[in-house]
């Protein structure tokens, strides 16, 4: 169970996120403006923050900048109605670990929360980029390149590629990938992982992801 701070001034969205996170076993605290959010974040009482950008009294960019300048490495997932590339890059370069544009699906937010909590508890370095087998993922700008050429990945494809590259050389089962990327259980007969692996092979290279029969998949890097 993790302690999650939600800094969001839209009561409906804050309630929706808090309810879903509590159903997943986490404890939540909701704050509705920037200064109070910063005070809570600096208290040391939380494992992760879900942060809205458009906050009263202090926006999310400034809150994040002050949080990082005071040495906090708490994982932060930014929620924003601003979907421009500039705003996304500003948030990530300002120290956010991930972002989601509104409107969003809660299942995807939950998957990202689980991933960032897992990385933080394991002490996994928050790299700026991952690179192997000619594939490069820029985790700040969310850009993917293959051999220096830009490749367009959806948010789900990028998340799957990130999991593979963080665990390169290791076999990951379909169940592990469903949990880490999708964040909820599909019907056992679902082939969604296989479908998305196929997408990655077409975009990153046919040999990048190896099928290990009866076990799952492995990134060859």
Which residues have C-beta within 8 Å of that of residue 204, sequence separation ≥ 6?
135, 144, 146, 151, 161
The CATH code that applies to domain 129-219 is 1.10.10.10
Secondary element (H or E) of residue 165: helix 155-166
Whole-number Å distance between alpha carbons of 79 and 188: 31
Say which CATH architecture domain 3-121 belongs to: 3-Layer(aba) Sandwich (3.40)
171: β partners: 218
pLDDT tens, residue by residue, 141-159: 778 999 999 999 887 888 8
Of the candidates 100, 212, 96, 109, which has an alpha carbon nearest to the alpha carbon of residue 164?
Answer: 212
Per-residue tokens: 120: 């933080």
Listed in order, the ranges of the chain carrying CATH 3.40.50.2300 are 3-121
Average pLDDT of adjacent 10-residue blocks, the chain of 221 residues: 94 94 93 96 94 94 92 90 68 82 84 83 65 87 89 86 88 83 60 92 94 92 68
- Tokens 């963080």 locate to 166
Query: What Rg, from alpha-carbon coordinates, does the chain have?
Result: 18
What is the number of other CB atoms lying within 10 angstroms of the CB of residue 152? 9
Listed in order, the ranges of the chain carrying CATH 1.10.10.10 are 129-219
3-state secondary structure of 159: helix
Q: If you write DSSP's letter for every residue of 59-80 in order, what string do you get?
A: -HHHHHHHHHHTT----EEEEE
Average pLDDT, the chain: 86
pLDDT tens, residue by residue, 66-112: 999 998 989 999 988 765 666 777 777 788 888 888 888 888 888 88
Which residues have C-beta within 8 Å of that of residue 213, sequence separation ≥ 6?
none
State pTM to two decimals. 0.62
Whole-number Å distance between alpha carbons of 203 and 4: 35
DSSP 8-class letter at 124: -
HSE-up of 32 (CA within 13 Å, CB side)? Answer: 6
């Amino acid at each position: 169970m993790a302690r999650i701070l939600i800094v969001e001034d839209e009561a409906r969205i804050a309630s929706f996120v808090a309810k879903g996170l509590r159903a997943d076993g986490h404890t939540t605290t909701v704050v509705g403006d920037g200064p109070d959010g910063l005070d809570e974040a600096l208290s040391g009482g939380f494992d992760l923050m879900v942060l809205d950008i458009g906050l009263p009294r202090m926006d999310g960019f400034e809150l994040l900048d002050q949080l990082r300048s005071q040495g906090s490495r708490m994982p932060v997932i930014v929620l924003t109605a601003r979907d421009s590339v500039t705003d996304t890059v500003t948030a990530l370069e300002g120290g956010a670990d991930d972002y989601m544009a509104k409107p969003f699906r809660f299942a995807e937010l939950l998957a990202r929360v689980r991933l960032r909590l897992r990385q933080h508890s394991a002490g996994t370095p928050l790299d700026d980029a991952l690179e192997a087998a000619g594939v490069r993922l820029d985790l700040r700008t969310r850009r993917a390149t293959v051999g220096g050429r830009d490749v367009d990945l959806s948010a789900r494809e990028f998340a799957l590629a990130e999991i593979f590259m963080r665990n390169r050389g290791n076999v990951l089962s379909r169940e592990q990938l469903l949990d880490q990327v999708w964040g909820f259980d599909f019907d056992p007969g679902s082939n969604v992982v296989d479908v998305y692996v196929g997408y990655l092979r077409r975009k990153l290279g046919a040999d990048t992801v190896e099928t290990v029969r009866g076990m799952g998949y492995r990134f060859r890097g």
